[in-house]
Each structure stands twice: as structure tokens, then as C-alpha cells.
Amino acid sequence: MRRMLSPRLTAALFSLVAVLGLRADDSARSPQSVPFELLPSKHMAVQVKINGKGPYRLVFDTGAPMMLITMRAAKDAGLVKRDARPLGAGLFSFMGEPTTIKDFEMGGLKAENVATVVMDHPTVKVMEELFGRLDGIVGFPFFARYRMTIDYQAKTMSFEPVDFKPTNIFDSLMNILMADPKTRNAPKVLAPLAQWGLMVDKGTEDDEPGVEVRRVFRNGPAAQSGLREGDRILTVDGRWTDSVIDFYEAAGHVQPGKSVPLKIQRGSETRTIQLTPKRGL
């Protein structure tokens, strides 16, 4: 699956990232099926409603860390005033502060109080010229809350709610910017509850899905599961792992001794293996 935003562009946009504040409605507690349109670029497009208005056509991007709505759709849905003017010009036109979508609907999925960035992204503009009207992006903060399955033949995605809570990237960035410069660059230790027996990494120029397994420790859980160095981990227990942070977030929710599926890519082959992490120190 191709990513829409490169790591460099994603880093440049982090200052605009807003994380969804979702609350699943009772009807979404069971798996929900959502149809999608496969664009010639291999991206997926979905129909959504915003505050009862729409439908709007958004790109469902598994590589995007944000929720993004165009100025045009935001004005139509009442997210901003019709006479509102963007802060930027040229490539990036945006409203600055995140705003909130009161009601967000995608198929049978319903979410309340969704924080989003109102912005005319140049990539969305280019894709719109090629594939018709597009009104924004649905990204990681939405689908990370679900165990997602994609059926390319039927062109449907199924979503099953999970307890995973995505990190509020916007607040995290503000904390970093406001932190004491002496401690801002201090080493951070990421440690899941259980031992997995592997090391993963992803280079700044790596646009491929998943994270690469750089080392597998002998006799550890990863080695026992058959995982090899060079494999790419795409999902952990149904959760996408498109960055090292994503992987540790997903791994941190797995209890020691619990066997979980890992979707991996080995060469041109995609397979699923079972891995049972051990209790850590």
C-alpha cells in the first residue's frame, strides 16, 4: 500500500497535526464494513459526512499522521466561517488552530468531537486535478482505534473497535517546544511491558509500509516465531506500524504471554506469524 506523505513532508507538517478525539457510538461496537474507491494511484477514497453535511470524498491514507479537511469542505460543513481567510498562501493554506468536527461519519462508523486541521494541502490539490474532487485526508488517529481488514476484491474495509488510544501528537509537540532546551534532546527510552527479542528501524528516506526488522536476538520470542532480519512488520495484533513509534505503541498494549498475529512482508510475499512476547524486567 503506497503512502501519501513522505517522511520529510510529514515532519514539516507535524506542527499542524491534530489528533482525533473520538468516542465510538454503540452501533460501532460491532465490526462495521465501509466501501472504498481505489484510485489509479492505488490510494483509497471514502465517502464521509461532517456535521451532517456531505458526503465528502476523502483519501484514506495509512501513512498520514493527521486528519485534514480542505477549506472548501470546512466552510460548507460549518467548521469555519464562510468569509474566513487562511493564514498561509501558495503551497499551504490553513487556518492555524485545530478545529473540531462535532459529528464525523464514515459508513456505519460514527465519531464525536473530532479534532482536525483545516488546510489546502498541495498533494490533495494535485490528486484532485487527476482524480476529481477530494476534500481531505483520513489518517492514523482515526483508524488506529480499530482493527482494520481490507478486502481489495470487494473494495471494502471492516473496522472492529479496540482499546488502543493514539498519542496526542499535537500536545506532545507543544510539550517538546516548551520544554527546557537542556532536557529537550535527552534520550528517550521506549519499553513495552514484554520482551519481543528484536530491534526495528525505519530510515528517513524509507517510504515503504511498515518497519524493518534490523536484529533478531537468539532464542528470543521473535526468533522462536520465525521472524527474520530484513522482514518488514506491517501490523501488530491488527494495528498498523508505519513508524518505530507506532510499533512501540502497538507492542506496549500486548500483555506478556499473549500470542498475537504479526503481518509481515518478506520479499514479495506477505504472511502472518504468531509471536508470544515474554515478561520483561
How does residue 155 score in pLDDT terms, banded at 50, 70 and 90?
Answer: very high
Cell of 192: 513495552
Secondary structure tally for the chain: helices H, strands E: 8, 19
CB atoms near residue 194 (< 10 Å): 19
Contact indicator for 212, 206 with CB cutoff of 8 Å = yes
Average pLDDT, the chain: 79
Whole-number pLDDT of residue 20 = 35
Q: What is the CATH number of domain 7-174?
A: 2.40.70.10
How many Cβ atoms sit within 10 Å of the Cβ of residue 75?
16
- The per-residue pLDDT for 50 is 95
* pLDDT attached to residue 82: 80
Q: Name which of 19-33, 53-67, 124-138 the model is least confident about.
A: 19-33
pLDDT tens figures, 30-77: 788 999 999 999 899 999 999 999 999 999 987 777 789 999 999 999
Written as one letter, the residue type at 86 is P
CA atoms lying within 13 Å on the CB side of residue 234: 19
Annotate 133-145 with b (16+ C-beta within 10 A) or e (fewer).
ebbbbbbbbbbbb
Mention the CATH class of domain 194-279.
mainly beta
Reduce the DSSP state of residue 262 to 3 states and report it: strand
- Domain residue spans in the chain? 7-174, 194-279
Q: Is the pLDDT of residue 91 over 50?
A: no
- Which residues pair with residue 261 across a beta bridge? 274
Ramachandran angles phi, psi of 64, nearest 5°? -90, 130
Task: Give the separation between CA 138 and CA 19, rounded to whole angstroms.
Answer: 11
Side-chain half-sphere of 65: how many Cα atoms within 13 Å? Answer: 23
pTM recorded for the entire structure: 0.56
**pLDDT of res. 221:** 92
Express each pLDDT in 188-212 by its tens digit: 545 555 688 999 999 888 888 899 9
Q: Which residue has the higher pLDDT, 31 or 84?
A: 31
Instruction: Name 114's Cβ contacts closer than 8 Å, sequence gap at least 6.
Output: 20, 21, 22, 67, 100, 101, 102, 104
